[in-house]
Amino acid sequence: MRLLLAALALTGTLNGTALADRPPLVQDLWPQAVHVVPSALPDGRTITPRLFLDDDTVLATVAKGFERSEALVTYKLSDGQTTELAELAVPPRTVVHPSGVAAGSGHIVWWTARRDGAGRVGEIWTLPLEGGDPVAVAAFALTGTVTGLEPTAQGVVWSTDAGGVWRVPYAGGRPAEVPGTQGQHVLKWPWVGSPARAFTTAVNAETGERRETRPGSLCGVYLCVSADRLASARSGAGLRATKLTDPPVSRPARDRFVTSSTLAGPGEIWAGLYDLVSGQVADLGVKPLAARGVQAGGIAIPVPGPDDRLLSYRLDGRLVIVDLSKIT
């Protein structure tokens, strides 16, 4: 579950854009895609959904404290059945708890970081999809964070804030930089690109195919949203207007969906899920933050997970899980 914060401009606009009518709630517009479930297990541990394993099963972490994941579990949306796959031990000097959870090719992977003298060491962990004992398969000096972590048939790939794409086999070993990826970041393997998060340039690391679009855009593998909130293919083909009134907070998931914030009226801000293919928009129903401190009146905008399928957030003491693959 990932969230980004948008600030509310009390003058009646958000970042200089016009007000917009409030759209239908996501569960009303796309009921087939929305699940509302408890936010905690019966033992009190909170649930953080990470990705879909199938139509009825999400992979989640559970914990008693903030950002201190204690176990990986599978959670059945239909009946709440939970199966624990592994405990997530926290080694001494840990500064980044299990993050970037991803699954594929029969494996679950994540990363952590720990202090080492004046620096930090990043570690890549793997676990069989059916559960077992987690294994650290790589350790390396880390500045910043790990991004784009993905399991592949040949092993685990990832990038870092500094750029460059790295790979290690599931058997473990010294990370090796993928040839030709200097300064690049994982977009959606085998696609890598730059700059980080915007990905206006994308390169297939296996075939060498290269795709570019104009600077200032925010891109998936195929679809981009420009700084003036127009959507198109990377080539510029199919250019069309969107209903966005503020820039999206992340690249298009499934080359189709983005989330952003908009004002529906003076002092009324909402978080929207935008379908850039159909043009439809749904209100996620997220409540503005309490009116105190520097974040007063802002709103936490949910961001699609790394599987490009799961969008989740807490609302009124429960979890709302949106399956983007079920929006047709």
**What is the DSSP pairing of strand 318-323 with strand 310-315?**
antiparallel
* Centroid of chain to Cα 81: 24
Closest CA to 61 of 106, 108, 29, 15: 108
Closest CA to 1 of 83, 67, 77, 64: 67
Give the position of tokens 């750029």: 163
Does residue 273 contact residue 24 with C-beta atoms inside 8 Å?
Answer: no
Backbone angles phi, psi at 122, to 5 degrees: -90, 145
HSE-CB for 294 with a 13 A CA cutoff: 1
Under DSSP, the state recorded for 29 is H
Return the SS3 of 28: helix
Structure confidence at residue 81 (pLDDT): 97
Return the SS3 of 225: strand
Helices and strands of the chain, counted as H and E runs: 1, 28
Residues 136-186 pLDDT 10s:
999 999 999 999 999 999 999 999 999 999 999 999 999 999 999 999 999
In 55-209, DSSP assigns E strands to 57-63, 71-76, 82-87, 94-104, 107-116, 119-128, 135-141, 146-152, 155-160, 165-168, 176-177, 185-188, 191-194, 201-204
Q: How far apart are the first and last CA of the chain?
A: 23
> How many angstroms separate the CA atoms of 61 and 33, rounded?
22
Give the position of tokens 């600077």: 215
* Centroid of chain to Cα 192: 16
Element (H, E) at 212: strand 210-212
The domains located in the chain, with CATH, are 2-326 (2.130.10)
Does residue 98 contact residue 90 with C-beta atoms inside 8 Å?
Answer: no
Give the position of tokens 């390169």: 203
Q: ∠ CA(219), CA(28), CA(32), 5° rounding? A: 70
Q: Give, for all 328 residues of the chain, the pLDDT tens digit.
A: 666 555 433 333 434 444 467 899 999 999 999 999 999 999 999 999 999 999 999 999 999 866 567 899 999 999 999 999 999 988 889 999 999 999 999 999 999 999 999 899 999 999 999 999 999 999 999 999 999 999 999 999 999 999 999 999 999 999 999 999 999 999 999 999 999 999 999 999 999 999 999 899 999 999 999 989 999 999 999 999 999 988 899 899 999 999 998 876 666 788 999 999 999 999 999 988 765 554 556 788 999 999 999 999 999 999 999 999 999 9
Return the SS3 of 153: coil
